[in-house]
Amino acid sequence: MNKKVLIAMSGGVDSTLTAHIMKEKGYDVIGCTIKFFDEQEEAIRDGEKAAKELGIDWYWADYTSYFKEDVMAYFIRTYLQGKTPNPCAHCNRHAKFNYLFREMKAKGADMIASGHYAKKVKIGDQYFFAKGADAMKDQSYYLCLLKDYQREVIEFPLGDMEKTEVKALAAKLGLSVADKEESQDICFLKGGDYRQFLEEKLDPAAIKKGWFIKDGERFKEHEGIIYYTIGQRKGLGIGYHEPLFVKSIDGKTGDIVVCGKDEVTGRGVKVHDMVFPSEHDRVFRAEVRVRYRMAPVGCMVEIHPDNKATILFDKPEFAPTPGQIACVYENDVVSCGGYIESVF
């Protein structure tokens, strides 16, 4: 009997080609489109259409009520705390692959296949994710929070491919999604601004207001902490003789410290809810990304009890941000990752 694989089908070219590759390898393929929020009719329609073109079984599963709490509530709550969330990394662990794992079990499948641009490697008895071959599309950063049981069953057939190869092969196969445009935004914002989303979800009284602080002095009142992020320069509404940047946001007082660019740096970060192998040196050298669009930088990592860690950069980095994700690499392999608690 062929192994059964559940394909995470979004209706795009990556997931569609993933399904094709797994079918060609001889797996018993089932396509599944997860409904995370309302107004996803297009994704469901495209997922069904792609499955029909490939001649595979397909269905959709409704997780909208779970997603509201697992991701949207986290997104809102993090901004109210004066931090900046990373909904995609958070979703992969707590929502997307969590829901797919449930569906895999329900369908009696052996594994999950996804169109992410990342690789999977086995070191000793443990599975890890590594950088994808396409440096511009590599998504390993967003996968650093996944746990052992999730890593064991997930496969990435596109990990060794460039995006241009994927689109060319899809076109060669005559798949209708070959030229479909990709969405680069946070999915549930539907192309809108996150501030507008928060305004629609929140009572105005819940939006903490306070002061811009410079050199320890109150400078100007601001509109509310949800409208600002660490490292922000534009849109502050401050008239000053030099550019000012957001250095820190206090979720309790509502005060926001602003300063010159050189001061918006950190030597390191404290991280919580860290996911790392059970057997690892307590202190080790590595590289880290503290946001997706940055090259990994050298660092020292010290692992603490209770899934916490301290990461010290080789040199100060611009605007490390509480709430964001620190992804640690060793030789291009994701060794651990967690949520930034504070910057020092």
Class for the domain spanning 208-263: mainly beta
CATH number of the domain located at residue range(s) 265-343 in this protein: 2.40.30.10
- Residue 10's nearest CA partner among 48, 66, 53 is 48
Report the pLDDT value the prediction gives residue 179, as an integer from 0 to 100: 82
Q: What is the mean pLDDT of residues 318-328?
A: 97
Q: Are 64 and 303 in contact (CB under 8 A)?
A: no
- Residue 54's nearest CA partner among 18, 107, 103 is 18
Domain boundaries, given as residue ranges, for the chain: 4-189, 208-263, 265-343
Which parts of the chain are beta strand (E)? Answer: 4-8, 28-35, 57-62, 111-113, 118-123, 126-131, 154-155, 211-214, 217-221, 245-249, 256-259, 265-275, 283-289, 297-304, 308-318, 325-330, 333-343
3-state SS assignment for residue 333: strand
Q: What is the pTM of this model?
A: 0.94
Alpha carbon distance 144, 142 (integer Å):
6
Report the pLDDT value the prediction gives residue 176, as an integer from 0 to 100: 86
Q: Confidence class of residue 165 from pLDDT cuts 50, 70 and 90?
A: very high
Q: Please state which of the ranges 33-42, 87-96, 112-121, 272-281 shows the lowest mean pLDDT.
A: 272-281
Report the pLDDT value the prediction gives residue 216, as an integer from 0 to 100: 94
* 192 pLDDT above the threshold of 90: no
3-state SS assignment for residue 139: coil
Report the pLDDT value the prediction gives residue 75, as an integer from 0 to 100: 98
Choosing from 32, 144, 187, 327, which is the catalytic residue?
A: 187
Q: How far is CA 323 from CA 54, 87, 115, 188, 249, in A?
A: 40, 10, 26, 19, 12
Alpha carbon distance 89, 71 (integer Å):
10
User: What percent of the chain lies above the pLDDT cut of 70?
Assistant: 99
Q: Confidence class of residue 1 from pLDDT cuts 50, 70 and 90?
A: low
Q: Is residue 91 among the annotated active site residues?
A: yes
Tokens of 270: 């404290």
Alpha carbon distance 40, 34 (integer Å):
9
The residue that leads in pLDDT, 11 or 134, is 134
Q: What is the mean pLDDT of residues 48-74?
A: 96
Q: What is the mean pLDDT of residues 101-128?
A: 96
Choosing from 91, 144, 299, 327, which is the catalytic residue?
A: 91
Residues with Cβ within 8 Å of 226's Cβ and at least 6 positions away in sequence, in order, are 79, 80, 195, 198, 202, 207, 208
Indicate the average pLDDT of the chain.
94
Q: Confidence class of residue 240 from pLDDT cuts 50, 70 and 90?
A: confident
3-state SS assignment for residue 195: helix
* 147 pLDDT above the threshold of 90: yes
Q: What is the mean pLDDT of residues 282-309?
A: 95
Report the pLDDT value the prediction gives residue 300, as an integer from 0 to 100: 98
- CA dihedral (91, 85, 298, 286) in degrees, to 10, reads -40
Q: Confidence class of residue 184 from pLDDT cuts 50, 70 and 90?
A: low
Q: Confidence class of residue 239 from pLDDT cuts 50, 70 and 90?
A: confident
Alpha carbon distance 310, 187 (integer Å):
31
Report the pLDDT value the prediction gives residue 22, as an integer from 0 to 100: 97
- Superfamily of domain 4-189 in CATH is HUPs (3.40.50.620)
* 183 pLDDT above the threshold of 90: no
Report the pLDDT value the prediction gives residue 26, as an integer from 0 to 100: 96
Q: What is the mean pLDDT of residues 69-97?
A: 97
